[in-house]
Amino acid sequence: MSVRIIFALFKLKIRLKLNNFIDKAKRGLIAYIKVFVIGFIFFVGGKASAQWDMGGGSTDTANGGVDSAAIKKAAYVRFVPPYDSMREIIFYEGIVENEDCSLCTADSLYWRAKKFLSKKYGKSVLKKMIVDEKIGHHITVKVTLPMVVVNGKYNKAAKGMMEYKLCLRFQDSRFKYQFGNFVHLQTGEGLVGNPTKTYHEYYMRVKRGYEATDKYLLASDREVKDMVTAITYALREPYRPEEDEW
């Protein structure tokens, strides 16, 4: 066998061994990388879990973490309407003054209020609503309107009727408003006759299910605020008798 052939066979053998060595090295490196990556993942995951547990169920929000308490639903805060302990009823009362109004006499404020109520409910209906009245001094009416509850930002529903008494008292440059005797009137489906009456004081005292009954209290609260705003605006306008009032 010639020297060239022997040398060629030797080179081929060396190359095969070298390729085999390189393949083993690659496989070993890949296995090492896999082990390293898996170990790193377990290490980071364990550290994050420990941080969550040590934070009382939350991570440090100052460092960009997520506060788990914020994820939970906020505790419901019960609505508490103004309550008159002497009368033992839900009672709204306030005084609106306008000292700069030289024409706001008690008589003028009375007629402005009467005009506002007549436009809102109609003259014939207002006559039936009036419970007590003294010209230039006070007027008391019983108001009945739909009970509209708010179930969400874009969801409202009528749930029977709401009834309450409104008393307006007048002095020069000021008037007092009083709202009380709130009642929820409901008629069951298919029932006839008188509706059931539920006084709002009952809703205020219930121990269970108050998240639902509070909607009725909130409905009356919105009604009071809307009425006070409208009456205050109307009583700032000068009184001008209508043609049929002369």
pLDDT of residue 33: 64
Q: What is the chain's length?
A: 246
Comparing 232 with 188, which gets the higher pLDDT?
Answer: 232
Query: Mean per-residue pLDDT for 184-200?
Result: 81
SS3 50: helix
Q: Any bridge partners for residue 132, and if so which?
A: 140
Range with lowest mean pLDDT among 110-119, 154-163, 192-201, 219-228: 192-201
Does the pLDDT at position 217 exceed 60? yes
Portion of the chain with pLDDT greater than 90, in percent = 56
pLDDT of residue 52: 42
Give the whole-angstrom CA distance, residue 120 versus residue 185: 22
- Consecutive H or E run containing 151: strand 138-152
Query: 81 near 222, Cβ under 8 Å?
Result: no
Give the whole-angstrom CA distance, residue 64 versus residue 62: 6
Range with lowest mean pLDDT among 22-36, 57-71, 109-123, 170-184: 57-71
Does the pLDDT at position 88 exceed 80? yes
Does the pLDDT at position 175 exceed 50? yes
Does the pLDDT at position 190 exceed 90? no
Residue 83 phi, psi dihedral angles, 5° rounding: -130, 130
Give the whole-angstrom CA distance, residue 91 versus residue 141: 15
Does the pLDDT at position 145 exceed 90? yes
